Amino acid sequence: MTGDIPVCGDFAGHYRKAVKLAVWRNSATIRYSRNETLAHLLDRLVDDQTMHAKYPHLTGVEQVKSTDSAATKRRIEKLRERVQPTRLTEEQENVDINGWIWYVRHEDDNDYHVIVGSSPRATAKFMNVEISGLPGPRAKDRAMLERVCQRFQRLVGEPIPKSKYKALLPRMKVRIKGSLFWDADHYPPGKVGPPDARSSTVWEIHPVTSITTI
């Protein structure tokens, strides 16, 4: 791979960082729900409006602007790091889904947005799943997340841009495992993905722990 962005760089964001960079565990081993379609998962998730009403403190967190002073940037970054540092009750699940990759993009925080559809057709419903930027060198899940990132790069097979979403043609059918994450930073829904494949929810799978072709 070539390019000026590291293939598997350290996570450079702040919003709910501790949750994004750790796989959910309720036992010594990582357990997953039964394999299901993306459509089934989307149908059973708590809807975004209900989540927003229950956790209003997760939305409306200030965004860092390029015009902000250094002191303002530090203040906002610290605030964003402190917002809900643990998983919500509804997020305490590892899922295992089948779907089709439509688009990919490398984000500024070193996450990869992967827009997954419930089918390869235009009538599909969409969800953003994220190949996470890496946690610190001593983090428990660093090696796992780095392997996922490297496997994802091999699946795509060519550099992934930051400037725009890259379409995968033909659509790639995959099996994806990972932890649920309600990303209120993207609330309300409809902000993530290109115009023909907007994510229908701010729910994500983040971090992804496994991605394989079917």
pTM (global) more than 0.85: yes
| 63: pLDDT strictly greater than 60 | yes
- Helix runs in the chain, H state only: 17-20, 38-44, 48-54, 70-82, 142-156
Q: In the chain, pLDDT over 90 holds for what percent of residues?
A: 84
Q: Is 35 left (phi over 0), alpha (psi -120 to 50) or beta?
A: beta
pLDDT digits (tens, 9 = 90+) for 155-185: 998 889 998 999 999 999 999 999 999 999 9
Q: Which of 60-74, 83-97, 110-124, 168-182 has the lowest mean pLDDT?
A: 60-74
Q: Which range among 1-5, 47-51, 69-73, 160-164 has the greatest average pLDDT?
A: 47-51
Mean pLDDT, the chain, integer: 93
Could you tell me the pLDDT band of residue 86, with boundaries at 50, 70 and 90? very high
Which sequence spans correspond to the domains of the chain? Answer: 17-61+68-213
Show the tokens assigned to 16.
Answer: 């709910």
Q: How far is CA 31 from the centre of its chain?
A: 19
| Cβ atoms of 119 and 174 closer than 8 Å | no
**pLDDT value of residue 60:** 82
Can you tell me the distance from the alpha carbon of 115 to that of 100, in angstroms, rounded to the nearest whole number? 8
